Amino acid sequence: MYESFARRYQIATSKLPSSIAAEAYDAVRLIALSVREAGPNRARVRDRIASVKELAGASGTISFDNEGNSLGGAQLVRLQ
pLDDT mean by block of 10 residues, the chain; 80 residues: 92 93 93 94 92 87 82 74
Look at residues 31, 71, 67 and name the one whose alpha carbon lies nearest to residue 50.
67
Instruction: Identify the three-state secondary structure at position 74.
Output: coil
Residue 78 domain-assigned (yes or no): no
Query: 3-state class of 47 per DSSP?
Result: helix
* Whether the predicted model's global pTM rises above the 0.75 cut: yes
Count of domains for the chain? 1
In a domain, 54, yes or no: yes
Range of the domain at 56: 2-62
